[in-house]
Amino acid sequence: MTSEYAKQLGSRLRAIRQQQGLSLQGVEEKSEGRWKAVVVGSYERGDRAVTVNRLAELAEFYRVPVSELLPEGTPIQFDFAGKIVLDLEKLYDHQDDDLAHVARYARAIQQQRGDYNGRVLSLRAADMQSLAIIYDISPPDLVDRLTDAGILVDDPRSLFEGA
């Protein structure tokens, strides 16, 4: 393992531990001594190589997928180039059940925002990430699915022309 990779791996380990509100000593206490603070600290600094088996055990302890501990497992940030806008009429009239979760989510957003114009609804990055989790796909794949279903609007003003 290269020292740069070890440092990146250690950085991921530290980030996960800190997200869980644990100090190095807290890891040792919570694991009832299975994970010594000095050992976990040396993994985090990249001073000590971690075996695949130990990494898998540590992932299980933290209750995260092993891929989240690996530098390449860093979650992909999904930013929209523009707004994602749903055509609500097409969404609510859609016959297939495959978009039922999107429709339910859209109704909840409308209720939360108090936005009942009934024609369009813009989705934020966090909305798309939440929906993608429900469908167990990536946000870009969800965009593709919505595009294929004809639910996305390129220019929302076009829906109001002639109205």
> Could you tell me the domains of the chain?
3-73 (1.10.260.40), 84-160 (1.10.10.1930)
- CA angle, corner 31, sides to 26 and 37, nearest 5? 50
For residues 107 and 136, the model is more confident at 107
Q: Note the pLDDT of residue 161.
A: 58
pLDDT over threshold 50, residue 74: no
Q: Which residue has the higher pLDDT, 30 or 68?
A: 30
Q: According to the model, what pLDDT value does residue 77 have? A: 47
Tell me the C-alpha distance between 60 and 100, whole Å.
34
* Collapsed DSSP state (helix, strand, coil) of residue 152: strand
Count Cα neighbours of 97 within 13 Å in the Cβ-side half-sphere. Answer: 0
Q: 36-71: string of b/e by CB count within 10 Å (b at 16+)?
A: ebebbbebbebeeebeeeebebbbebbebeeeebbe
Residue with tokens 């523009």: 82
Tokens of 23: 């100090």
